[in-house]
Structure formats: C-alpha cells, structure tokens
Amino acid sequence: MSKKFLGTVVFLCVTVMFLEHANAASFGCATKAKWLADPAYAEAVATYCKDFLTAQVDAKAHKTWIQGTNGTVTYNYSDFNIVKNFANAHGMTVRAHALIWGESQPAWFSQLSASQLRAGALGAIDAALDAGARHLEIVNEPERGLGVFDQLGPEFIGDLYEHAAQRCPSCTLAINYLNPPSVSSIAAIDYPLDVIGIEGHLGNSVPNWSDFVQQVKGLGYQVFITEADQSFVAREPIQTFASQMMSAGVDAFIVWNLTKFPDDSWQSAAPLDYPSLAENEMYVGLVEGLKESSGDGGGGQQRGRRGRPTGLSPLDCRSVSHFLGYVYETSSHRSGLRTWAPHR
C-alpha cells in the first residue's frame, strides 16, 4: 500500500471528523416493523435516518412489549427484531421504546399481584436484552405515573434501571419524558441512567428547553429529543425548535416518523408526504433547524452516570464512505438531511 494512498485515507478521515464534529448531534427516526414492509418507505428510512431507529410498539395490536392473558405474562419482541435487523443492516442503532408505560398497559394487569407485576416488568427488560436490545428506553412518561406498577412504590423505577445495568453493564439506559421535569429531580436520580429523553410533540407554540438541556448535560447525562413531530405540515414550529435544541447541544434528534401512515392514530404531520414520500415544508423547516451547530453533541465522549462513554461516536472510519457520500450529495446540489448528515 503506497504512502500516497495512506496519506489520502488519513486526509479523508480527518476531513470527515471535522465535518461530523461541526454537526455532531445524531439523527434518527421511529418506526414500526409493519411499515418497513413497504419497499419505498424502507428505502426512505435507510436514506434519512442515519444514526438511530426507534422500534415502536404497534399500539393497536398489543399496547406494550408485555403480553399474555389471564395472569400469564409473556413477551413478544418479534416486531422489535424486524426493526433491529433493518437497523443493523443499515449501520443504525436500534432503540427499544417504552418497555414500561403506565398509560398503556393491558387491563388484565390489574388482576396481577405485586410480585407478579414486579416479575413481569423485570422480565420485559430481560426479554429485550435477550432479543438484542442494547439501547433501552425503559420507562416512558414517568410524570404520568406507572399505572398498575405504582403499587410497587416510588423506588420501583430505580429497581428497573439497577436490574438492567446489572444484566448489561455496557447497555445505554434511557428514560423518556413527555416534557422536561425539573433539573433538581434529574440531579436527585441515584440509579444507573445515561440518557434523558424528551418527546418533542409540537403544537402552534415552540417550547424553549435550551436551559434544561444545557443544565442536564452539565450533570453528565446525554439528552435526546425522542419523538419530534408537529400537528400540521409547515416549516414552523419544527425549524425554530430544532435550531434551539441543536444550539443547546442535544445529543440526538429523533423524529417520530418520516411519514404519516393512515393507521397511525397519534401523529398529525411528518416531514415526508404520504404516500408519495415527497419532502414537504415540514421537512424543509427540519433541515434548516438541524443545520445549527450542536455544541459537543453526540460526537463527543459524553459520560453517563456510570462514568463511561455512552454516546455513539460517528468517527469510526467508516468515515471514508461517509465523506464520499457527502461529496457526492453536495456536488449534486441535493438538499436536506442527506447533505447535513450523510447516511451510511
């Protein structure tokens, strides 16, 4: 191998490190396994969602990954495996969403004893790990309570994270809030936790969470926007929101979905029109907002509470292919996420 060739490779790697540091926050999308069966949609996910892919539960089929009837708790991670395999094939990290969600539990859970509930919740974590999850969003919307799990006491959330950390010390553990809690409540957390997630569902107004993001990052946590969307197709408020969050230094910005499927009862608008998957005004606003500098973002060695690097660094010298993709996209004058964040 010639010195000239080696020098070229080093130059390309250093160049990509500079480019990706300039836009260091990771980007991703949430999806459901059944949607990935659509080839055009799957191609769009592979193109736009470069870092993270969140595996959503199909709420109409089974409200959580926990299933079963008549007091027998089982788990179904078959949909998760489909999303995980897709993510792995495209160089993304899959996130297991909402293992425990108090607002969305089968009605028959109320028939279970405290010991059965505890075993069922811990079993959900075990089953997720057995299915290959390594980025676990264990508790969803804790500010709304844990539903039937509340009877297990205020320490139960900590027990869940302690259990996950013992089972998988190298896993990234996240909690997902509907809105930012008080910084003091985050500072008081005494269980293993790496990522503070905030959903980011937008209406007409734009919440400014910049101070929260910066203060929580100062405590050593990563901060993800986990479910960004808005109630109508327009450049605002997503452009202002994304710009604020990038400037504040969020580590990842994840949209709830790329497009609005007819069977998606939650989401009102998405960056790509359905069924054409054409980039719309919301997409334009999102791209413009994401161009902001993100501080140390996801490309740095942010440390979680367990004192270890928790962020995915994009600088693992698959970088050369990233750089070539970047040059191709920009030289073709293509706009959007494919330029801002060259996909793998």
Which residue in the block uniquely carries the two structure tokens 């997409």?
A: 283
Q: Which two tokens stand for residue 88?
A: 């792995």
**SS3 state of residue 201:** strand
What is the C-alpha separation between 282 and 287, in angstroms, rounded? 9
Give pLDDT, residue 2: 54
pLDDT band of 68, cuts 50, 70, 90? low
Contact 44, 259 (CB under 8 A): yes
Rounded to whole angstroms, what are the CA distances from 110 to 30, 57, 101, 122, 242?
30, 21, 14, 17, 40
What does pTM read for this prediction? 0.80
Model pLDDT for residues 6-53, shown as the tens digit of each residue: 444 333 343 333 334 334 589 999 999 999 999 999 999 999 999 999
pLDDT for 63 equals 52
Q: Does residue 191 register a pLDDT over 80?
A: yes
pLDDT at 103 over 60: yes
Q: Give the whole-angstrom CA distance, residue 226 versus residue 197.
A: 6
Percent of the chain with pLDDT over 90: 60
25-313 carries CATH number 3.20.20.80: yes
Q: Is 294 exposed, middle or buried (0-12, 13-18, 19+ CB in 10 A)?
A: buried
Residue-level pLDDT at 102: 84
